[in-house]
Amino acid sequence: MIVPVTYFTSKPFDNLSVKSTKMYRSLTLTLHLSADIGLLRDKFLEFAKEEDSVIEHHKLLCYVTAQTGTAQTVTCYLMTSDPLAGWTAEMNVREKLLAFIRDNYPEWWPEKSW
């Protein structure tokens, strides 16, 4: 069946392939190799569980996903009830993690290479 594109832009339709509004969100931090990932993971879990829109707490994940000679990339995943709530939860958790590092472990920031 061939349907002109104007049909979809001029008439509302339901996307039946969408079964849920749940959404995985990820946040990435680049930290010095000395950063304690276990402690960071614990703080991530604590902060994520405080967010009302974060669901399925048993699926929260936080792991080192890359490294260089001086830094490591830590990626944390959370699931939220809908896309907008997911964006908000991701930003809130990121800000809390950044504040935790800034206030308690400033040596975890990667070294400047300039």
Which pLDDT tens digits describe the chain residue by residue (114 residues)? 676 777 667 777 666 665 667 888 999 999 999 999 999 999 999 999 999 999 999 999 999 999 999 999 999 999 998 888 999 999 999 999 999 999 999 999 998 754
Q: Degrees (nearest 5) of the Cα angle 73, 79, 80?
A: 130
Q: Are 66 and 73 in contact (CB under 8 A)?
A: yes
How do beta strands 54-55 and 61-67 pair?
Answer: unpaired
Predicted structure pTM score: 0.80
CA–CA gap between residue 77 and residue 84 (Å, rounded): 16
Q: Degrees (nearest 5) of the Cα angle 21, 89, 18?
A: 10
